Amino acid sequence: MAKTRAGLVTYETVREIALALPGVEEGPCYGTPGLRVRGRLFARLWEDGETLVLKVGFDAREMLMAANPETFYITDQDRAPDRRGLAAQRAQAAGGGA
């Protein structure tokens, strides 16, 4: 399993854990790796190559951002009221810098 860097989880670690779950598949999403169950996206690596974007419910999103705003935040594209994206801590792509 991939190791963390400076306390951050790598995308490789997230990928390995997710792909071990039943029905999870990896495929491209906006030119970056994405993770899906039955074709529905639940996580992807953002275009910056270091931010993990998660699909979560509105209540969970608000709770996570309130609990740790330096780690959890909304990307600009997910500010629309009907979007459920949440960017998590900056995950490093495999081989990425610290």
In 25-67, which ranges are continuous DSSP H helix? 58-67
Q: What is the pLDDT of residue 83?
A: 64
Domain ranges (residues) in the chain:
11-87
Q: What percent of the chain has pLDDT over 90?
A: 35
CATH class of the structural domain 11-87 = alpha beta
Query: How many Cβ atoms from other residues are within 10 Å of residue 78's Cβ?
Result: 16
List, for residues 7-48, the tens digit of each pLDDT value: 677 889 999 999 999 999 999 998 999 999 999 999 999 888
Residues forming a β-bridge with 36: 25, 41
Helix (H) or strand (E) holding 36: strand 32-37
The helix, strand and coil proportions of the chain, stated in percent and rounded to the nearest 5, come to 20, 30, 45
Q: What is the pLDDT of residue 77?
A: 67
Enter the pTM of the model: 0.73
Closest CA to 53 of 19, 30, 22: 30
